[in-house]
Copies of this chain bind each other. A is one copy, B any other.
Amino acid sequence: MPWGIGEVGDRAEALDRVVRRARERVPLYRDLHAGIDSTELADLPTCTKADLRPYGFFPLSTAGPAEAHRVCATSGTTGPRLFVGYSRADWEERTAARLAHRAAYAGFGEGDVLLNTHGYGLWVGGPALDLLAHASGAGLLPAGPGGVERILDWLAELPITGMSATPSFMRFLVDRALAAGVDPASWPLRVGFIGGECASAALRRSVIEAFGGDFRWQELYGSTESGGPILGWSSATTPEGGVLLLDTEEFVVELLHPDRDEPVEPGELGEITITTPFRELSPLIRYRTRDLTVALPDRTEEGYPAVEALRGRVDDALKVRGALVYPTVIEELVVARLAPGAEFRIVVDRAPGELDELTVVVEHEGNEAELDELRAALAEALVMRVEVEPVPLRSLERFAGKAKRVVDRRPRD
């Protein structure tokens, strides 16, 4: 740690150059690095999206939007809306090269056709997956989100071999196909480029099984700030995607304690923090992604450092009776015990003068012993009492876009 320094010959010089340029041209870094001359990573402060708020529309940029080959923006759901510009080289060369690598890694390229269901406009997902198709030599059908019935028709009738989607949308499509008596295994689709939110191993498993077991769930991890879904990708050696490889050819990656600028040990929960030695327009320097994971001790056979599948975000953590609870930890335990495609909700509530109550509402038609087993597993993992409340199958609403499974009913302080 940090991963990615010194692995490529010119990495240290590139980092030195990008830090000096950022201090000169980006008011954010000029202020953050005031009084610091060193460009050694350990001497530099970290920053988060919240630090960018006072710096206008393009807080990370070395130049204005006229220099931006493309601007993307975060949704603004977790903090201020953030515009990130990429130079032509940032996007058409660097992001494209990393996406070409991912496509090749998934065995996807010439002769293939990608159906892209990610969103376009200022959202990075749509244009990035278009770029993956272009960089890999595959054909591109840029569908965008929505239109489930049309997409089911196209998957059945066109030679679509790859599809990009959120995990929720992937699951939603499979559910709709099965409900209509259509077997997803009969489609030519064999690779899913999946991203945009966390997915439990059980959800991944249920989709792969619906495709007859040969479907490649190729998770891509990243964000607007990282220049698209190029920061990490699921290892082919763990077909259900439990292990994420980190792209230390493009980024310097650190796993830091969520509250302190200190590296965590393998096995400990840490926040993925990235630096971009090669970025022209929007350099990131020790930028905390808010994404939490656990480092695995050894490099994978591919040579990249590996972490466990994301555990959630610093911002998503629920504080229940003073303890941090990560929804993904609950999801992992719940979904493993449910029928394929069954939904659930995590409800936190507090009666006046009482302690927080954590309830998991699950679509469940098994027996009481199974529910007791789930209660015990949750209590052990979270070290607190968790209520489990069964409801009939298909009684909870489904998500076509990003899932929202946490319902916090506690009175605001």
- A66 adjacent to B110 (CB under 8 Å): yes
Partner of A65, one of B88, B121, B141: B141
Residue of B nearest to A68 (CB): B139
Query: What number of copies of this chain does the assembly contain?
Result: 2
Taking CB atoms, residues of chain B closer than 8 Å to A111 are 66
Distance of A138 Cα from B64 Cα, bound (Å): 11
Out of B71, B110, B139, which one reaches A85, CB within 8 Å?
A: B139
| 7 A–B pairs (Cβ distance < 8 Å), ordered by A | A57-B158, A66-B159, A68-B139, A70-B130, A120-B120, A120-B142, A121-B142
Residue in A64, A88, A121, A126 whose Cβ sees the most chain B Cβ within 10 Å: A121
Asked if A207 is at the interface (CB within 8 A of a chain B CB), the reply is no
Q: Does A112 contact B (CB under 8 A)?
A: yes
A110 to B, closest residue via Cβ: B66
Question: Which residues in chain A, 117-152, are within 8 Å of chain B measured between CB atoms?
Answer: 120-122, 126-127, 130, 134, 138-144
Q: Quick check: A139 and B71 within 8 Å, CB to CB? A: yes
**Interface mask (A271-311 → B, CB under 8 Å = 1, otherwise 0):** 00000000000000000000000000000000000000000
Residues of B within 8 A of A143 (CB): 121-122
**A contact set with B: CB distance below 8 Å:** 57, 64-71, 85, 88, 110-113, 120-122, 126-127, 130, 134, 138-144, 157-160
Bound-state CA distance A126–B111 (Å) is: 26
From B66, B85, B142, contact of A122 by CB (8 A): B142
Residue in A113, A127, A130, A140 with the greatest tally of chain B CB atoms within 10 Å:
A140
Contact between B57 and A139, CB atoms less than 8 A apart: no
Partner of A158, one of B65, B69, B158: B65
In-complex Cβ contact of A142 among B67, B70, B88, B158 (8 A):
B70
Provide the residues of chain B in CB contact with A57, threshold 8 Å: 157-158
Q: Known contacts A57-B157, A157-B57; is A68 also within 8 Å of B140 by CB?
A: yes
Which B residues are in CB contact (< 8 Å) with A68? 113, 139-141
A65 near B139 with CB under 8 A, answer yes
Task: Write out the residue numbers on chain B whose beta carbons fall within 8 Å of the beta carbon of A139.
Answer: 64-69, 71, 85
Pair A140/B110 contact, Cβ less than 8 Å: no
Contacts of A144 in B (CB 8 A): 120-122
| Additional A-B contact list (14), CB under 8 Å, known A65-B139, A120-B144 | A64-B113, A64-B159, A65-B158, A66-B110, A66-B138, A68-B139, A69-B140, A70-B140, A71-B139, A85-B139, A88-B134, A121-B142, A122-B142, A122-B143
CA distance A385 to B36 in the complex (A): 81
Among B112, B120, B157, which residue has its beta carbon within 8 angstroms of that of A121?
Answer: B120
Residues of B near A85 (CB, < 8 A) are 139
Contact of A134 among B66, B69, B130 (CB under 8 A): B69
B-chain residues with CB within 8 Å of residue A126 when the two chains form the complex: 120-121
Bound: A69/B140 CA distance, A: 6
CA distance A148 to B300 in the complex (A): 48
Asked if B157 contacts A71 (CB within 8 A), the reply is no
- Chain B residues contacting A110 (CB-CB under 8 Å) are 66
